[in-house]
Structures are given as structure tokens and as C-alpha cells.
């Protein structure tokens, strides 16, 4: 199964007000393992950036002045994501901006949900931790994901962090390689205990064994069909 963890940065919060995408970051998961295949671009929005938005992501219009417009990277982006399941935190926000960009760049635009499945990790987190803060930073802190390098928002870094958060939320993962740009271990890599580490085994006391045996005997006498564990003990003798 191929999944794409996706994040965007924008010129402002409201797509209806004409705000645009200025950065896209995507990290690929194949069979719940992060690959080194990623998609990352800064984009010239051809409009101003709200001051509040720039304080969040630190991306200036001057920095973006020589970057491609969305139409220049649209085909490569669609090739990368089509047919995958997108994993997005607060998916409605990013999908709204992506659908708007696709509408501006094509006479026959497609919507993201027509070409990809979508999983919203914010909805997943709210179902697992109702009534708690479920921002990306809050989830990183709760799940032990190292977000110390996240001084400001960044689409690729946030996609890397979200990939690890998603794997924790949805059942855990043995090994992560989240720095797609290098061949060495990522600073976000999740480390397991050594395979040869001996686990401590605590044996029951004589009293605990006697109490357990008495409980099974009572259960065998009162249950309509007896006690399965008692029958298994008899058959093993």
C-alpha cells in the first residue's frame, strides 16, 4: 500500500480570500515504511504573504521570487500523488488550497479526492484523544516524537513529523527513516531496544497459583458448559 504524507504552507489562512500555496512537502510510505522518495517544492504565489502567516513559516516573498509557480510543478506533483492515500493533518485546509490551485491551472481541473484517498490525522487523533489538544506539536509531545527542530512550520519537516505521528497513532512502526534527502539515519529515527535484550519474567507465587486454581474450579462448577481451561488441563495430563 502506498501512502503520501502531505503538508503545505500558504500565504494566509483563507483560500476564499485568494491565498495561495507557497510550499508543498510530501513523504512516501510503502507498506507502512517511510521511503527515501519525497516531493518538495517552494512556489511563487504571485501575491503578497500575510504578516501572521510569514511569522509562522518564515518564508518571505523575496525568497519565493525566483521559484516556480504552481502550474510549473503541477504535473510532477500529480504524478507523485495520484492513486495513493494522502495522509494530512486537518485535511480540509490543505485539500481546499490544492483544489483551488488545480482549478486555476487547468481548463478541466480535477479534485484531489477524485485521484487520491484521504486520511485526516486530526480526525484520527480526536477520536483517540477526545477533549485534548491534537495539534501536530501536541501529538509529537504526547507520542514521544522529537520535534525539537521545529522552530517554525515547514512543509517537508512537518510531513516527516506527521509520518511518525501517524504510524504511532495507527499502531506503531518498527523502523523509520524520515530524512529523505540523505542516506544516513534521520534525527527523527525511532530506535528499538536491542534484539538480544533479556526481558524480565515475573513468576507467580504459590499463593497466586492456588488462588487461580480455586477460581477455575469455581468457574468450572458454575458455568453451563464448564471451564475451557480446566478441560485443557485435564487433556494435557
From CA 51, how far away is CA 210, in angstroms rounded? 71
Contact yes or no for 81/117 (Cβ under 8 A): no
b/e 102-140 (16+ beta carbons within 10 angstroms → b): beeeeeeeeebeeebeeebbbebbeeeeeeeebebeebb
Show which residues are catalytic: 153
CA-nearest of 74, 65, 64 to 103 is: 74
Distance CA 101, CA 22 (A): 11
Integer Cα distance of 33 and 31 in angstroms: 6
Amino acid at each position: 500500500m502506498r501512502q503520501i504524507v502531505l503538508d503545505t504552507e500558504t500565504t494566509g489562512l483563507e483560500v476564499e480570500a485568494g491565498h495561495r500555496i507557497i510550499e508543498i512537502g510530501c513523504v512516501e510510505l510503502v507498506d507502512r515504511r517511510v521511503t527515501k522518495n519525497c516531493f518538495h517544492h517552494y512556489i511563487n504565489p504571485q501575491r503578497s504573504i500575510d504578516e501572521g502567516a510569514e511569522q509562522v513559516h518564515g518564508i518571505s516573498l523575496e525568497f519565493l521570487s525566483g521559484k516556480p509557480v504552481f502550474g510549473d510543478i503541477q504535473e510532477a506533483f500529480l504524478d507523485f500523488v495520484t492513486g495513493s492515500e494522502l495522509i494530512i493533518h486537518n485535511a480540509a485546509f490543505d485539500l481546499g488550497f490544492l483544489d483551488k490551485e488545480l482549478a486555476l491551472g487547468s481548463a478541466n481541473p480535477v479534485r484531489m479526492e477524485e485521484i487520491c484517498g484521504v486520511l485526516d490525522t486530526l480526525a484520527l487523533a480526536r477520536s483517540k484523544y477526545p477533549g485534548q489538544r491534537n495539534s501536530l506539536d501536541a501529538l509529537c509531545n504526547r507520542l514521544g516524537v522529537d520535534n525539537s527542530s521545529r522552530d517554525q512550520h515547514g512543509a517537508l519537516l512537518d510531513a516527516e513529523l506527521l509520518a511518525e505521528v501517524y504510524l504511532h497513532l495507527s499502531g506503531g512502526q518498527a523502523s523509520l527513516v524520515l530524512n529523505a534527502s540523505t542516506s544516513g539515519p534521520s534525527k527523527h529515527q525511532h530506535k528499538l531496544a536491542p534484539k538480544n535484550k533479556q526481558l524480565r519474567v515475573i513468576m507467580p507465587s504459590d499463593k497466586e497459583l492456588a488462588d487461580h486454581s480455586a477460581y477455575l474450579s469455581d468457574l468450572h462448577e458454575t458455568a453451563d458448559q464448564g471451564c475451557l481451561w480446566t478441560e485443557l488441563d485435564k487433556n494435557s495430563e
